[in-house]
Amino acid sequence: MLKREMEEHDGRRPQPLVVLTSSPFHGHMTPTLQLATTLHANGFPIAIAHSNLNPPNPSNHPSDFTFLPLSDNLSAVEGTGGFAKFINTLNNNCKGSFKEHLTRLVNEGNKSIVVIYDNIMYFAGVVADDLNLPRIMFRTTSAAFIPALLLRQQVRQHGRFLEEDFVMQEVVPNQNLLRYKDLPFSKTPIEDWKQNVANYSQQAHPSALICNTIKFLEHESLTQVHNMLQVPVFAVGPLHKLAPNLSSGSCQEDTSCITWLDKQPPKSVVYISFGSLATMETKMLIEMAWGLAKSNQRFLWVVRPGSVSGSEWLELLPEGFIEETRERGFIVKWAPQKEVLAHFAVGGFWSHCGWNSCLESISSGVVMICQPFIVDQMVNARYVSYVWKIGLELEWVERGEVERMIRRVMVDEEGVEMRVRVNDMKEMVKEAVGDDGSSQKSLEDLVDFILSC
């Protein structure tokens, strides 16, 4: 029995009900549910207030989890007019039903309730504040992304809209790291973006912040974030290591790729996946395919249905590609990614650099080829390639460049050196989540913080 559970059974400390919000995005929902599982293991009763779009599957969770559906009235991310509008609609639509749920829980006699909300579901912080309940923000991104958001805002307020600008390659003045191109600019119409900023700025100030990151990895950024927010910051990552048995369950994993990997030599396979959201044009798919073929390396490729504009699945792959690579390639719709990255045969990860993917790659000691698409992925890619030096940045997707990149990572001395570094980091992750490690210590501090609320 865990320490917290024993205390509860002793009757010494009543555990507050922890209400977490779960957003419709896979990359947000998974760490939220991992956090819920971790807190549950520490004795807290858990309720999950979730969007009805991509809801969590209750059967993957302990039977005493409570699920609170929110009336989001959303049917898909697409069709709502882009990401910024989607976030606005999500927040406007969910607020009422969240307030009803919380009010009911209070009226039912739940004396102490603590709300932990995904930062993109900021309505929950506002509602908790209205009801005078403690509210803890949860960031599923890297800590470094938080100041990068502020930097983007400053650049935009100075009238710079740089998407087409040649200065994109330049380092932002007074920064020694991030270039303009690393900042999360988007194609969002400026009015929607302004509305988003206005909404965010009306958020309730959180009582504390939880980050799915690790102190040794982001020490400076965590200090910066703490200085920005002036509230306790808990770095409890990587959460997939604290809740390793949780099945995310929302996508059907094709485990036949593990059987295929079992037959490949050690560190010989490049794993390619761009997460749950990234989409690309056909031209990119074709250049990727021929680059892979020309590199002559083994590969496991996740081609998510719908990820290529206008296609069902593989029909837009260039003619002859499948035949040419049949002996050394395997394609699936969705892989058991953590298992894949931990597999002895995998030697590199060509990734969009979503934060979960970065954490999973580092935890498994796998070097990366970074091809960021949107939001926080550019900042993550910059850290992977330029700060931690455990990956290379693929600047443009052209078959010759793809071939060179894969060979640099999989075959050349450069790849060997990066692998040494990432293996050191893998060991440091193990220490961080082990007894007395920094993430375990932060988790204990978080538990104490929740109890003290």
List interacting residues with ligand UDP (CB under 6 A): 25-27, 30, 273, 275-277, 302, 334-335, 337-338, 354-357, 360
Q: Which is nearer to ligand UDP, 48 or 102 (CB)?
A: 48
- Residue at shortest CB range from ligand UDP: 27
Tokens coding 127: 């509602």
Q: Which is nearer to ligand UDP, 93 or 248 (CB)?
A: 248
Q: Which is nearer to ligand UDP, 289 or 303 (CB)?
A: 303
Q: How far is the CB of 14 from ligand UDP (least distance, A)?
A: 34
Q: How far is the CB of 10 from ligand UDP (least distance, A)?
A: 37
What is the spatial distance between Cα 453 and Cα 444, in angstroms, rounded to a whole number? Answer: 14
Q: How far is the CB of 27 from ligand UDP (least distance, A)?
A: 2
Q: Which is nearer to ligand UDP, 180 or 274 (CB)?
A: 274
3-state secondary structure string, the chain?
CCHHHHHHHHCCCCCCEEEEEECCCHHHHHHHHHHHHHHHHCCCCEEEEEECCCCCCHHHCCCCCEEEEECCCCCCCCCCCCHHHHHHHHHHHHHHHHHHHHHHHHHCCCCCEEEEEECCCCHHHHHHHHCCCCEEEEECCCCCHHHHHHHHHHHHHCCCCCCCCHHHHCECCCCCCCEHHHCCCCCCCHHHHHHHHHHHHCCCCCCEEEECCCHHHHHHHHHHHHHHHCCCEEECCCHHHHCCCCCCCCCCCCCHHHHHHHCCCCCCEEEEECCCCCCECHHHHHHHHHHHHHHCCEEEEECCCCCECCCCCCCCCCCCHHHHHCCCEEEECCCCHHHHHCCCCEEEEEECCCHHHHHHHHHHCCEEEECCCCCCHHHHHHHHHHHCCCEEECCCCCHHHHHHHHHHHHCCHHHHHHHHHHHHHHHHHHHHHCCCCHHHHHHHHHHHHHHHC
Tokens coding 262: 């079992």
Q: Which is nearer to ligand UDP, 358 or 397 (CB)?
A: 358
Bridge partners (DSSP) of residue 139 are 211
Q: Which is nearer to ligand UDP, 251 or 286 (CB)?
A: 251
Token pair 């969910």: residue:
94
Q: How far is the CB of 109 from ligand UDP (least distance, A)?
A: 37
Q: How far is the CB of 334 from ligand UDP (least distance, A)?
A: 4
Q: How far is the CB of 362 from ligand UDP (least distance, A)?
A: 12
Q: How far is the CB of 375 from ligand UDP (least distance, A)?
A: 8
Q: Which is nearer to ligand UDP, 26 or 99 (CB)?
A: 26
Q: Which is nearer to ligand UDP, 277 or 425 (CB)?
A: 277
Q: How far is the CB of 189 from ligand UDP (least distance, A)?
A: 22
Peptide bond into 238 cis (omega under 30): yes
Q: How far is the CB of 121 from ligand UDP (least distance, A)?
A: 15
Q: How far is the CB of 143 from ligand UDP (least distance, A)?
A: 15
What is the spatial distance between Cα 92 and Cα 115, in angstroms, rounded to a whole number? Answer: 18
Tokens coding 443: 């988790």
Q: How far is the CB of 282 from ligand UDP (least distance, A)?
A: 20
Q: Which is nearer to ligand UDP, 34 or 264 (CB)?
A: 34
Q: Which is nearer to ligand UDP, 25 or 234 (CB)?
A: 25
Q: Which is nearer to ligand UDP, 114 or 362 (CB)?
A: 362
